[in-house]
Amino acid sequence: MRLAESQLRRIIREELLAEASMTPLEARHHDIRFEMRKWRDKVKIVALQGEEEIGWIAADLIPHEYMRVWEVTQSSVEKRGLGPLLYDLAMDAVAPDSLASDRHTVSYSARQVWDYYLNNRGDVRHLQLDDPYNTLTPTDRDNYQQRSALRWGGELEDSSLSKAYMKRSGGTPTLDTLQGMGIIDVIHHPRRP
């Protein structure tokens, strides 16, 4: 069986992402610690090495009448492999709700993380979201903005960006591991900044 060049590139990208993903143990080995700030409808997680911010991710709860889905609104990393760990931690931070990509724009590297969740993470389940025009379902209960998915092209139901994600266990394994290692501070705020 011959692979098309595009299929081979996709497989290589997925393998590189899997190899590049930092584990909590590796984070501790590199003296990285985390600070999670939580509000009722916002969460921001910062990765620190010494006093230097080397990565962060922020998510906001999307106002919706029927479902609780949080969207990653911003993220940035300076250390290879830290992005997927921050996304896993954000997913835990919003549990038992689900986490989705930015509904308006997503970078190439962020899209790779979402693609990996959809195609390679058996411990993560996904929930298909519809667009505001009921393209996939006749109900408004699952309608969310889908600009990111549409900008990347393809069919809405095939896009990793058209879905929301949560851990299958319903638990918070990444957060629990970091707390057990003593390398994360979780700060709850009564009011949004």
Contact between 169 and 123 (Cβ < 8 Å): yes
Q: Which helix (H) or strand (E) holds 89?
A: helix 82-94
Edge-first strand listing for the sheet containing 42-49: 124-128, 163-167, 98-100, 69-77, 52-61, 42-49, 32-38, 184-188
HSE-CB of 47 using CA atoms within 13 angstroms: 28
Contact between 76 and 122 (Cβ < 8 Å): no
Radius of gyration of the CA atoms of the chain, in A = 17
Contact between 171 and 94 (Cβ < 8 Å): no
What are the structure tokens assigned to 92, written together?
Answer: 């835990």
Closest CA to 107 of 72, 143, 157, 144: 72
Q: Which residues have C-beta within 8 Å of that of residue 103, sequence separation ≥ 6?
A: 62, 71, 144, 145, 146, 147, 148
What are the structure tokens assigned to 111, written together?
Answer: 């899209």
Q: Which residues have C-beta within 8 Å of that of residue 40, sequence separation ≥ 6?
A: 61, 192
pTM of the predicted protein model: 0.86
Q: What architecture does CATH give domain 5-188?
A: 3-Layer(aba) Sandwich (3.40)
Supply the pLDDT for residue 121: 93
Domain parsing of the chain, residue ranges: 5-188
What is the residue-level pLDDT of the chain in tens, covering all 193 positions? 565 665 545 544 444 444 468 999 999 999 999 999 999 999 999 999 999 999 999 999 999 988 999 999 999 999 888 999 999 999 999 999 999 999 999 999 899 999 999 999 999 999 999 999 999 999 999 999 999 999 998 899 999 999 999 999 889 999 999 999 999 999 998 776 6
